[in-house]
């Protein structure tokens, strides 16, 4: 068992609420495996306390931290440097110290791409259909553009927010691939999809019987497509159960969670990290839940 001392280096995840986060489980499992004198903590920070908290993290020599809801965009003005991928997404999820300043990036893109890059697919002709137009959808858009997908459709229920979502992409390459559509266009768009991604929280515990799509809508999906749900509990979600009944390949959000976490830990530690240990720790925890 690790002994925490005054020499123990601090890492963490900042959000509100943050009690439910599984990040400490996978990060501390990796740290223990590597036999390093670090500890990864959940850091509950209310929106109005963000500036004070980030200054405090520097004061106590926090080595780095993850950022989750609701701070991924609000933290941007508090950083001295932001990576190009984080600028494209417009959100940061990983922060570290550099020359006594805070630097941020977004490893959600890398996390999302990891299971897709393991597949032998020609993404240059792929059509991506993204359900939702929030922060997670932004990471998926940036990832699919990086993958070289042909077209990216983002679906939402609020027309004004959809227009704002589209207008926010200054990258000409991304905006030329991107289209936004209202939810009622799903019957026309689902049959075109090579990759169908749920970025909404629909189907997440405790509302495990819910799905963003009806059974009728899911039946429109090609059997050659991939259904990807960013929700990782329950496993599988109702959305992925529907897809499996159509004979569609499915990916859940656990691998994205593992890979984005591993990418962050690699930045902080400046060494390779045991991804398998992180994945195993999460799987064991989800079995207990």
Exposed/middle/buried for 47, CB within 10 Å: 0-12, 13-18, 19+? exposed
Residues tagged active-site: 72
E strand or H helix that includes residue 220: none
CA atoms lying within 13 Å on the CB side of residue 237? 29
**Could you count the other beta carbons within 10 Å of the beta carbon of residue 171?**
15
3-state secondary structure of 77: helix
Beta strands in the chain (DSSP E): 9-15, 38-44, 64-67, 81-82, 94-98, 101-105, 127-131, 151-156, 178-182, 195-198, 226-229, 249-251
Q: For residue 223, give both structure tokens.
A: 């059997």
């Amino acid at each position: 068992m690790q002994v925490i001392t005054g020499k123990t280096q601090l890492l963490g995840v900042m959000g509100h609420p943050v009690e439910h986060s599984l990040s400490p489980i996978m990060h501390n499992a990796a740290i223990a495996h590597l036999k390093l004198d670090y500890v990864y903590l959940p850091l509950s920070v209310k929106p109005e306390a963000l500036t004070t908290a980030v200054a405090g993290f520097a004061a106590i020599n926090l080595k780095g931290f993850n950022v989750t809801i609701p701070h991924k965009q609000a933290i941007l003005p508090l950083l001295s440097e932001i990576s190009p991928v984080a600028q494209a997404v417009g959100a940061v999820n990983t922060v570290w110290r550099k020359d006594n300043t805070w630097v941020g990036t977004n490893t959600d893109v890398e996390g999302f791409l990891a299971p897709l890059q393991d597949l032998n697919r020609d993404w240059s002709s792929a059509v991506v259909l993204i359900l939702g137009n929030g922060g997670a959808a932004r990471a998926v858009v940036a990832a699919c553009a990086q993958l070289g997908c042909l077209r990216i459709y983002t679906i939402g229920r609020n027309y004004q927010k959809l227009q704002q979502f589209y207008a926010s992409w200054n990258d000409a390459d991304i905006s030329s691939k991107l289209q936004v559509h209202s939810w009622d266009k799903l019957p026309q768009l689902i049959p075109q999809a090579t990759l169908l991604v749920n970025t909404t929280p629909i189907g997440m515990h405790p509302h495990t019987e819910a799905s963003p799509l009806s059974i009728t809508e899911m039946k429109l999906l090609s059997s050659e497509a991939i259904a990807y749900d960013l929700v990782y509990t329950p496993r599988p979600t109702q959305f992925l159960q529907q897809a499996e009944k159509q004979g569609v390949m499915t990916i859940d959000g656990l691998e994205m969670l593992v890979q984005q976490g591993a990418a962050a830990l690699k930045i902080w530690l400046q060494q390779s990290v045991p991804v398998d240990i992180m994945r195993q720790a999460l799987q064991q925890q989800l079995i207990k839940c």
